[in-house]
Amino acid sequence: MLLFHMALAAVAVYSGLIHLESIYYGHLDLDERPLYKIPIISELSDEETLLLFVTVIFLLVTYVIRQMNELKLVKLNMPVVPCTLPFLGTAFQFLTNTPWDLMESWHRKYGSIYTFKLLGRTCVSIEKPEHLKIILQSKIQNVKKDVHFAYKPFLCILGGGIVTSEGESWMYQRRKISGALKVDILETIPGATLGAVQRLMSKLDRCAENGSSIDIAEELRHLTLQVISETFLSLDAQESDTNFATMYLPIVEEGNKRVWSPERQYMFFMPSFWKHIFGIQRLNAYVSKLITDRWALRNIENKKGSNGDILDKVLDHFEKENPGRSLCSRSVRQLRDEFKTFMLAGHETSAAMMTWTFFELMRRDEIKRMIEQETADVFGVKDWKNGKGKSGNLLNRNDLPSREELSKLILSEACLKESLRLYSVVPVVMRQISKPVQVENHIIPKNTSVTINIQSVHHNETYWPNPMHYDPSRFTQSKIPDPYTFIPFIDGPRNCLGQYLALLESKMVIALITQRYDFKLVNPDFAREGCDPRHRYIVPISPKNSLDVTVSKKILA
């Protein structure tokens, strides 16, 4: 076959030369032209020769690439997902299915490790805890993030922030922020969450009174953005909802569209292309101004750290590391990317986790009653919207239970974890191998993309009996899941820095809202058996339509 292609290519190249030659000698009489011509091919027109030439070269190149790829796949020594298309590989299957379900179904068919081709890449998908551990615990220099494959449409937000950085820059950012996110911020989260919950309660009360419906998924997105904006940048709710959300959310929406329609990034003739560019510029200018204003304020008023938010902590760190230095535009750009990253990483994921939890609770009265009981034990039976606290003022952050008390919201947390398992709001993460890694008897070569298949291990019957059934009791019993069978925040050196924050904030929301309201889906078909409510490709996994609910207020007894 290879010989045939090469012979064909040689003929095409030769005929191309003859045509060039005939153009060159065209003005000469027939008997003056050279004799070495190939009959038939030399009779072809210029266009026909060009077509033949291009076709043969294309066939030759694709053949050689396929041979090389197959050689590589044979070396991988694992099941291969069949595909016939050169370069595109399995792309059409991804476009016509839910990508995460497709990859999960391949695990069921081919086993715990398999390889597939996608857009010229060799990918290996893994779901077995032992394999996950090897890849996730590998040295950072051997296994890197597959930034351009996984995060490309969001690079306009993530820039050089922690999620997309590597090496020294990543280590520096992680060191700088991890203490603040794992410890300091947890002190301020309950207060900020209560404020956001009270604002949501105002809206829900209105809906309960006038019978109108509300998109609970959208409201939870606003709530989590408010909490992040307050704790990271000291923005008030008004600023978060009007300025930040209106600038930020359309950029995220366009990024999501570009994941599976990458051609959108080149469609400069579409208004959405320019809207996206101007939107990014506006957001960059806005976040940069927040940083420079704060820096100026700290220096004028000498009020260092008076806001007590993450921005203050990061600026404290900057001053300590660079005594006497001012904040140059490069540092502002870097900090801007870091804060845009936190906003993106920190609000949509938590909102999605809560959305699916409310969605499941709407159909589970018994679990709701148990949550009400648990909430009453921890928060008391109070009207957290209009009730008065110890000081005689409306209940506020000073009236909240202690962190230790909040840790008793075991069922609320279990419901959230079960949603993370069942819906796997981040269904896969990607890694790029930069030094060959051995996984059992497979050597995964350099430049291979590895899919950490979070959804697939969460749905694997071996580790989770009856996996498609929503059952929070999996997380209430004293038994903790086996290592690497529950990895919504992944594990290892690049694990999620916001997991404690997300769970603390979200269990308060689930507890306080469930204590006070009942929700009913406006479109019950959404929860019908066999109906898949998830959007096909948006990550974090969100409902495919708005999640409109009607609201009724409970009588607190």
Under rule CB under 6 A, residue 448 binds ligand HEM: no
Q: How far apart are CA 139 and CA 408, in angstroms?
A: 37
Other C-beta atoms closer than 10 Å to the C-beta of 179 total 12
Contact of 515 with 556, CB cutoff 8 Å: yes
Residue with smallest beta-carbon separation from ligand HEM: 498
Pairing state of beta strands 449-453 and 121-126?
parallel
C-alpha 222: how far from chain center? 18
Under rule CB under 6 A, residue 412 binds ligand HEM: no
Q: Which residue in 498, 513, 514, 549 binds ligand HEM (CB under 6 A)?
A: 498
Contact of 132 with 126, CB cutoff 8 Å: yes
Question: Which CB, 131 or 385, lies closer to ligand HEM?
Answer: 131
Under rule CB under 6 A, residue 163 binds ligand HEM: yes
Please provide residue 53's backbone torsions phi and psi, each rounded to the nearest 5 degrees. Answer: -60, -50
Q: Which residue in 61, 252, 297, 490 binds ligand HEM (CB under 6 A)?
A: 490
Residue 501: CB minimum distance to ligand HEM, A: 5
Q: How far apart are CA 223 and CA 351, in angstroms?
A: 8
**Judging by beta carbons within 10 Å of its beta carbon (0-12, 13-18, 19+), is residue 495 exposed, middle or buried?**
exposed
Please provide residue 439's backbone torsions phi and psi, each rounded to the nearest 5 degrees. Answer: -120, 105
Q: How far apart are CA 495 and CA 144, in angstroms?
A: 13
Question: Which CB, 174 or 258, lies closer to ligand HEM?
Answer: 174
Q: Which of residues 352-371 bind ligand HEM (CB under 6 A)?
A: 353
Quote the Cα angle for 18-24-25, to 5°.
Answer: 85
Residue 368: CB minimum distance to ligand HEM, A: 21
Under rule CB under 6 A, residue 172 binds ligand HEM: no
Q: Which residue in 18, 502, 541, 549 binds ligand HEM (CB under 6 A)?
A: 502
What residues pair up with 296 in beta bridges, in sequence order?
none
Q: Which residue in 93, 256, 284, 349 binds ligand HEM (CB under 6 A)?
A: 349
Under rule CB under 6 A, residue 196 binds ligand HEM: no
Question: Which CB, 415 or 501, lies closer to ligand HEM?
Answer: 501
Q: Which stretch binds ligand HEM (CB under 6 A): 41-49, 248-256, 273-281, 346-354?
A: 346-354
Contact of 519 with 549, CB cutoff 8 Å: yes
Question: Which CB, 149 or 260, lies closer to ligand HEM?
Answer: 149
Question: Which CB, 385 or 421, lies closer to ligand HEM?
Answer: 421
Which residues does 364 contact at the CB level (< 8 Å), separation at least 6? Answer: 470
Q: Which stretch binds ligand HEM (CB under 6 A): 33-41, 204-212, 390-398, 484-492?
A: 484-492
Under rule CB under 6 A, residue 192 binds ligand HEM: no
Under rule CB under 6 A, residue 429 binds ligand HEM: yes
Under rule CB under 6 A, residue 541 binds ligand HEM: no
Q: Which of 498, 486, 539 is nearest to 163 (CA)?
A: 498
Contact of 400 with 194, CB cutoff 8 Å: yes
Residue 221: CB minimum distance to ligand HEM, A: 13
Q: Which residue in 113, 124, 158, 162 binds ligand HEM (CB under 6 A)?
A: 162
Contact of 252 with 224, CB cutoff 8 Å: no
Contact of 303 with 297, CB cutoff 8 Å: yes
Q: Which of residues 124-153 bind ligand HEM (CB under 6 A)?
A: 145
Question: Which CB, 334 or 350, lies closer to ligand HEM?
Answer: 350
Q: Which residue in 126, 207, 433, 496 binds ligand HEM (CB under 6 A)?
A: 496
Under rule CB under 6 A, residue 517 binds ligand HEM: no
Q: How far apart are CA 24 and CA 22, in angstroms?
A: 5
Residue 82: CB minimum distance to ligand HEM, A: 28
Pairing state of beta strands 428-433 and 442-444?
unpaired
The conformation of residue 474, written as its DSSP 8-state character, comes to G
Residues that bind ligand HEM in the complex, under the rule CB under 6 A: 145, 162-163, 174, 342, 345-346, 349-350, 353, 425-426, 429, 488-490, 494, 496-498, 501-502
